[in-house]
Chain A
Amino acid sequence: MLTIADVVARCPLFDGLPTRHRELIAGCARFARFDAGTAIFLEGQPADRFHVIREGRVTLEVFSPERGRIVVQTLGPGDPLGWSWLFPPYRWHLDAFAREPVAAISFDGACLRGTCHEDHELGHLLMERFGGLMLQRLQATRLQLLDVYAHGSR
């Protein structure tokens, strides 16, 4: 049976971090489960946690009055979920729903935020990691916007 510390140690998101930081992070983590169809977080809610998905798929959604729930991206095993906990106003920008039963590691973002204010090295490293993640997601989103499969003219 893997401990939280083992799972955190294997997370690519935290790969290469000094042991003491990994232990700090593991100290803020716990296993979490979400039933299919439940909301993991909703837009506007305080963003105090973030997750790394271990099993199952999660949909990132935007709700619009005319069109209802719109899925803008799906995430799956291995994907980190949520970075709004790192930046003011610390509120979620999207909805996240468990499309199917989801197992995840859930991190106490508020606690980690506090730790980062004191341990600037940890803060810097987490900013680097989440910055890289945001870069990847932004690039993928741009590709989605490009609508490359559509037939269009210059």
Chain B
Amino acid sequence: MHILTADRLDELIGALRRVGRVVGPVLREGAISYGEVESAADLPRGWTDRQEPGAYRLEWDSRDLYFGFTLGAQSWKPFLFPPRLRLWSARRSEDGSFATRDEADDAPAQVFLGVRPCDLAAIAVQDRVFLHGPHQDPEYRRRREHAFLVAVTCGQAATTCFCTSMGHGPRAERGFDIALTELRDERGHRFLVEAGTRRGDEVLSELCMEEATAPDGQDAGRVAAATAAQITRRMPADIAGVLRRGHAHPHWGEVASRCLACTNCTLVCPTCFCMAVEDTTDLDGTAHRDRRWDSCFTAGHSYIHGGSVHASTASRYRQWMTHKLSGWFDQFGTSGCVGCGRCITWCPAAIDITAEAAAIAGTAGGATC
């Protein structure tokens, strides 16, 4: 582990830019979003966020940190699993036959600067979905192989965070190329820097850094512990089992009376992977196949000839939550939820997945009648 003083952050960013295009947190339209980072000046230094169910705003933070916020609406999902992608095009030849032509572009090398541990866990979850099944997604693989991950420990938790009850915490332990913990105290404004892979080691070897001392390591540990202590929300234990048995629970109808089926939660969720495959033709007769993000909250998601299987909002909410917290285990061996809390912040009806889980876990379905 090494120490990089904050005034030298540009050196690290410069080294990262030699690996690939650096994408990191930037201030945009009143929120923290991900965009290209060319220097430390592009980072939202001094800003922090306040998040509640259905509410998000930025505030000036006197700690004046580079990573003093928690997380924005966007996860890293769009960079590995693009919201829209053309898969192939085809033209018919004279005899009516056709051959498809792959339209995939070369995935550029990307550096994700500022990956929160929950988002790191989400990338690991999506790796299972797209890379570890009987069929793999070559588009995801291409982008994933060229992604370099720089994790940053959370120095503060939002009220909507609940990573600690999902098996993660504010400090990343694995899955990164480089991990940073931002420290600012009487010993100065600095980053604790560690490599998680050989690639990370190679990038860090370009910088001349002092070895971290034991107190530095302890400071980093304290930052993580303090953040964990701020977390108030939690997911009930064995929610997977509760939901597997909870099809008939009356609470689904209660949630449905509030849920707008607006699909925000599935858009901001870092692990949701539903995609629609669309076939179109141009006027010149060229056929295309595209894919785009889809959501189980739409009426068309479950359409089979005659009608949709999930006709009611209640059944769609039940599908989303049961899949996320229970079905995922059967499918991929892990929960689909990482506790990032985005679905709580960005729900216009302020629906809180942890509260709904508690409501269903707290009373066994049908126990009262």
Contacts and interface: CB of A to CB of B under 8 A. Distances in A.
A154 B311 CA distance: 10
A151 B307 contact: no
Nearest to A153: B306
Contacts of A152: 306
B305 interface: yes
9 contacts: A151-B305, A151-B306, A152-B306, A153-B306, A153-B307, A154-B306, A154-B307, A154-B308, A154-B311
* In the complex, the 4 A-B pairs of residues with the closest C-beta atoms, listed nearest first: A154-B307, A153-B306, A152-B306, A153-B307
Nearest to B308: A154
B354 to A, nearest CB: 34
A72 to B, nearest CB: 26
Interface size band for A: under 10
A151 B304 CA distance: 11
Contacts of A153: 306-307
Interface of B: 305-308, 311
A154 B312 CA distance: 13
Nearest to A154: B307
Interface in A102-118: none
Contacts of B306: 151-154
Contacts of B307: 153-154
A148 to B, nearest CB: 11
A154 B306 CA distance: 6
Contacts of B311: 154
A152 B304 CA distance: 11
A104 B307 CA distance: 47
Interface string A139-154: 0000000000001111
Nearest to B307: A154
A148 B305 CA distance: 13
B346 to A, nearest CB: 31
Nearest to B311: A154
A147 to B, nearest CB: 12
Contacts of A151: 305-306
A152 B307 CA distance: 8
A55 B311 CA distance: 48
Nearest to A150: B306
Nearest to A152: B306
Given A153-B306, A153-B307, A154-B307, 6 more contacts: A151-B305, A151-B306, A152-B306, A154-B306, A154-B308, A154-B311
Contacts of A154: 306-308, 311
A152 B311 CA distance: 15
A149 to B, nearest CB: 12
B301 to A, nearest CB: 15
A127 B13 CA distance: 88
A151 B305 CA distance: 8
A152 B305 CA distance: 8
A151 B306 CA distance: 7
A106 B51 CA distance: 81
A154 B308 CA distance: 8
A29 to B, nearest CB: 49
Interface string A120-154: 00000000000000000000000000000001111
Contacts of B308: 154
Contacts of B305: 151
A82 to B, nearest CB: 38
B310 to A, nearest CB: 12
A153 B311 CA distance: 12
B299 to A, nearest CB: 11
A38 B44 CA distance: 93
B35 to A, nearest CB: 44
A39 to B, nearest CB: 41
A151 B311 CA distance: 18
B254 to A, nearest CB: 24
A152 B306 CA distance: 5
Interface in A48-100: none
A36 B18 CA distance: 92
A152 to B, nearest CB: 6
B25 to A, nearest CB: 46
A29 B308 CA distance: 54
A153 B307 CA distance: 6
A22 to B, nearest CB: 44
A111 B305 CA distance: 55
A151 B307 CA distance: 10
B201 to A, nearest CB: 59
